[in-house]
Amino acid sequence: MLALLLGVATALPARAQLKPAPTAARVATTRLAPKPAPTPAPKLAATTPARPAAKPAAPAKPAAPAKRMAPAKPVAPTPPLPAGLGSADQNLRYKNGKILVEQGRYALAMQELEPLTLPAAKFERAPEAAYLYAVAASRAKKWAEAEQMINLLRNRYPSWAGLPEALFLQSQVSFEQQDYDNALKVLNSLQAGTLAPERANMEAAYLPRIAEKGTFQRLLKDYPQDAALARTYADKLVGGGWYTAADQGQLDQLIGQFGLNRNAYTPRLGAAKKSSYNIGVLLPFEFNDPSWEKRRRNQFVTDLYAGLRLAQDSLQREGHPVQLFAYDTGADTIQLKQLLTLPELAGMDLLIGPVYKSGSKILARYAQQHQIAVVNPLSQDGSLVLDNAWHYLFEPSTATQARQAAQFAYTRLGGPRTAVVLYEDTNDEEAFGLAYKQAYEALGGKVLQLRSLKSDDEASLAAGFAGIDLKTIGHLVVASDNPKSGVYTLSALRVQNARPPLITYASWLTNNRLSLDQLDSRDIYFLNPKYLDRTNAGVRRVRQLYTQQFNLPPSVFTYSGFELLYYFGNQLHQYGAAFQQPLANGGPVSGAVFQGIGYPEGAHDNQYVPITKLERLEVEVLNPVGFR
């Protein structure tokens, strides 16, 4: 039965994979000095990363390793209703209720199951019927009905073998209603070791959402042996800006009782607001290799740093000065580890970088130990920022993009609440597909098929679409940047004369195999985290300043560097170096150049994902900041 529970209520966080940055050769450690005055034509030196004369293309995504794909299964586009609804045959009603839950028809399932739960029915499987009713109510977000049924189940059938799963569901229902006391009370009533991994995942998902210090203190008093509660509160004290000198005694007690790392849970001194902040930038500049090939491959790093420099100038003019200290990490972890032995790094107020996954993990541990916030500028790997109050992703993770897309589809697309999700056979897109299914079904929708495909293989593309009636599904999701996937998808829709809404990546807009007319003529919605409105004043200003200095237009990496430093530089000046809790208390805000940025409810990756659509050949943002 626990399998039925996986999609109930709000989906727990999914782990995504990093999209690898371009590889680079190993070079010796080089340190950069603080930023000098900008010059119109920077030269390659130890103080400023150089820009080649010609603008190269953005780094290409490496090809994913091939893996065997299971044969596609035919799909029934709209499952028929089970026969005999409302039957006097109790066993048939129970069977039909179970089928309706699996189909995502939760209201019908509740109608079918409720009579079986009444004492007068004397149904031998009444506990199972009550549990399925509660599952259906939870998936439909009918919290009161779900909780009432679980309470009846507990009172009438206290010896039922499936009661632990019902209690687990009740805890999640209470968490969703922010009834934290009851949620923990129910969880702690479970026998030690019962559903231990599921319980740990639930507490990790919901406890960080508690926004009041007093609520935590009350819960700790009532549940003094709850290790997850204690650890989350310690994280809030040290990493969330809640700490005061009066908290030291309780913090020491939690460290001793639960074996927490004292170095990681020692509040940082000197976190008060300052007139200027020091920021370490750790990127693979690789100055020891001046070859044209290396400079061309590393252009994205040069562009990123140039954007940081432009933001530094803007902050200076606005009276929010920051000092940049740039360090060349090279392409391996050896150089990064050498840099982290420098005493000066421990005194930084913020760290930016690096770009490779192995280095990101090392720097994240360093930041946690020294209590310095670190922002990864390019990664979309949500797993990097789990259980670390000091580590942030500038970009939305793959899983966050999937969840935002699922929310948009469920609330804005209308029609049948069914979907088919196809994803490219890579780690990133697989994580996207799984997260989308989990989030969409938690809302009450149904993913009829979740399939992988390899777009460079015509047979794999054909198998991915095999047996799918595209005319009857609610919407189609194609998570693939491969140009061939876009061409094949539109061809498949045309062959079937089908026009379901389609959700995909913004890279389709730059696919030279597809015309804008083709994309405009259908209901296609693009996940567009890096969408730039060229009429925006901030975008025009960055373009002007960059072009004046380098005689070339900026790349998207330049805009990323600018937005990152401008946003977090302002956070430093507004809240000081321990800005985590103010970030968690706010919502997404409009960016200086991008559409939005924000880390609400304790998120550590950007939670705003622009969703765009072509309207009369113009890109329109359908979910601007502040719109729900």
pLDDT in tens, 40-50: 333 323 333 33
On whether both 560 and 510 belong to a single domain, the answer is no
At how many degrees (to 10) do helices 106-117 and 90-103 cross? 150
CA separation for the pair 38, 152 (Å, rounded): 71
Last residue of a domain, one of 244, 264, 284: 264
Residue 18: partners with Cβ closer than 8 Å, 6 or more residues away:
357, 360, 379, 380, 381, 384, 428
**Assigned domain for 282 exists:** yes
- Asked if 357 contacts 381 with a C-beta cutoff of 8 angstroms, the reply is yes
**Assigned domain for 627 exists:** no
On whether both 334 and 309 belong to a single domain, the answer is yes
The pLDDT tens digits for 474-495 are 999 999 999 999 999 999 999 9
**Assigned domain for 307 exists:** yes
Mean pLDDT (whole number) for 145-162 = 93
Mean pLDDT (whole number) for 425-436 = 94
At which residue do the structure tokens 């702690």 appear? 188
On whether both 342 and 436 belong to a single domain, the answer is no
On whether both 180 and 238 belong to a single domain, the answer is yes
Q: What is the pTM of this model?
A: 0.67
The CATH code of the domain that includes 235 is 1.25.40.10
The pLDDT tens digits for 371-405 are 899 999 999 999 899 878 899 999 999 999 999 99
On whether both 344 and 483 belong to a single domain, the answer is no
Mean pLDDT (whole number) for 2-21 = 37
- Residue 111 structure tokens: 């109608």
**Assigned domain for 489 exists:** yes
- Asked if 401 contacts 504 with a C-beta cutoff of 8 angstroms, the reply is no
On whether both 369 and 414 belong to a single domain, the answer is no
CA separation for the pair 439, 264 (Å, rounded): 33
On whether both 351 and 418 belong to a single domain, the answer is no
CA separation for the pair 108, 100 (Å, rounded): 7
At which residue do the structure tokens 């050896």 appear? 334
The CATH code of the domain that includes 542 is 3.40.50.2300
**Assigned domain for 21 exists:** no
- Asked if 459 contacts 484 with a C-beta cutoff of 8 angstroms, the reply is no
Question: Is the pLDDT confidence value at 178 over 80?
Answer: yes
The pLDDT tens digits for 293-341 are 878 888 999 999 999 999 999 999 999 999 999 999 988 899 999 999 9
CA separation for the pair 225, 251 (Å, rounded): 15
Query: Which pLDDT score is estimated for 211?
Result: 77
8: left (phi over 0), alpha (psi -120 to 50) or beta: beta
- Asked if 605 contacts 397 with a C-beta cutoff of 8 angstroms, the reply is yes
Last residue of a domain, one of 479, 509, 527: 527
- Asked if 573 contacts 580 with a C-beta cutoff of 8 angstroms, the reply is no
On whether both 389 and 306 belong to a single domain, the answer is yes
On whether both 293 and 247 belong to a single domain, the answer is no
Say how many C-beta atoms besides its own lie within 10 A of residue 138's C-beta: 28
The mean predicted confidence, pLDDT, of the chain is 85
On whether both 209 and 97 belong to a single domain, the answer is yes
Query: Which pLDDT score is estimated for 192?
Result: 85
What DSSP string describes 482-511?
-HHHHHHHHHHHHHTT----EEEEGGGGG-
**Assigned domain for 601 exists:** no
Query: Which pLDDT score is estimated for 269?
Result: 55
Percentage of residues of the chain with pLDDT beyond 90: 67
Question: Is the pLDDT confidence value at 427 over 80?
Answer: yes
Q: Give the residue numbers spanning the domain of 223.
A: 90-264
Last residue of a domain, one of 527, 546, 569: 527
Query: Which pLDDT score is estimated for 70?
Result: 39
On whether both 489 and 356 belong to a single domain, the answer is no
Q: How many domains does the chain have?
A: 3
Mean pLDDT (whole number) for 143-164 = 93
For the chain, what is the largest distance between any 2 Cα atoms, rounded to a whole number of angstroms? 86
- Asked if 200 contacts 187 with a C-beta cutoff of 8 angstroms, the reply is no
Cis peptide before 77 (omega within 30 of 0): no
**Assigned domain for 249 exists:** yes
Phi/psi for 288 (5° steps) reads -70, -10
On whether both 103 and 248 belong to a single domain, the answer is yes
**Assigned domain for 507 exists:** yes
